Amino acid sequence: MRTLLIAGNWKMNGSKALLDAFASAFAPPALADRVEVAMIVPFPYLDAARRAFESTPLKLGAQTLNPEASGAHTGEVSASMLGECGVTYVLVGHSERRALYGETDADVLARAKTALENDLTPILCVGETLEEREAGRTMDVVLAQVEAVLSPLAPTARQRLVIAYEPVWAIGTGRTATPEQAQEVMAGIRGYLARLDTTLAEGMVLLYGGSMNAGNAAELLAKPDIDGGLVGGASLKTDDFLAICQSAG
């Protein structure tokens, strides 16, 4: 059975006080054994989060990384730096990085490779815009984004990824794909994985990442191909996020 993963993406939000609030809310035994939770916080809070979460089951995640090991890249952060801060997970290809900062599939692949080479677990984000969905291109777009990263990787490397399906039209809009819409896309992703390797398909953790909240989490997580969530706004509210995580158990 796949371990469920709930990852909270704070984006450019949060504070040290909020870190302490989450550390208190997630003190053991807040979570079921088969649920893993990662807090994906802004770079300046990574070390403070590591210290705050020491006595909790919370894992630490970062929002992106630079594929270069070091150098003249002002404002960037390397994989080794993330490792020294205790990071386990790192987002690659988030729709906001693609749309606002021009990251291409090639950029996403480079970041995923660097993460894997540095023993970080990439959470590969894929998803379609509203225009692409209305044009009936959802699966073409999503599977092309998945293939661009998985196809060049060695089979053993593929097994170390997590994939998050985040319909762009449902991020931060309050709109959510219905459980049936989400399941259809997740099943399509798992079907693609099965064509590569049935063991890969059976073991890959797939997250839903479009406005999951305390009210809809249980219904989404009940679907057979949804193994957790990449949570945005609700991850800034301790009670709501804890409720999502507990619904996964």
Q: CB-based contacts of 32: which residues, under 8 Å, 6+ apart?
A: 246, 248, 249
Give the burial string for 7-17 (b: 16+ CB within 10 Å, else e).
bbbbbeebeee
Task: Consult the annotation and say whether 228 binds a ligand.
Answer: no
Identify whether 166 is a catalytic site residue: yes
Task: Consult the annotation and say whether 191 binds a ligand.
Answer: no
Task: Consult the annotation and say whether 24 binds a ligand.
Answer: no
- C-alpha 148/C-alpha 22 separation (Å) is 36
Task: Consult the annotation and say whether 83 binds a ligand.
Answer: no
Exposed, middle or buried, 165 (CB in 10 Å: 0-12/13-18/19+)? buried
Structure tokens at 69: 């090991």
**Among 96, 103, 128, 166, which one carries the catalytic annotation?**
166
- C-alpha 66/C-alpha 70 separation (Å) is 9
Q: How far, CA to CA in Å, does 161 sit from each of 88, 194, 216? A: 12, 15, 25
Identity (one letter) of the amino acid at 96? Answer: E
Q: CB-based contacts of 29: which residues, under 8 Å, 6+ apart?
A: none
Task: Consult the annotation and say whether 216 binds a ligand.
Answer: no
Q: How far, CA to CA in Å, does 158 sit from each of 141, 149, 154, 203, 207? A: 20, 9, 6, 11, 16
**Among 36, 94, 96, 103, which one carries the catalytic annotation?**
94
Task: Consult the annotation and say whether 169 binds a ligand.
Answer: no
Q: Give the residue ranges of the annotated binding site.
A: 9-11, 172, 211, 232-233
Q: Give the residue ranges of the annotated binding site for substrate.
A: 9-11, 172, 211, 232-233
Residues acting as catalytic residues: 94, 166
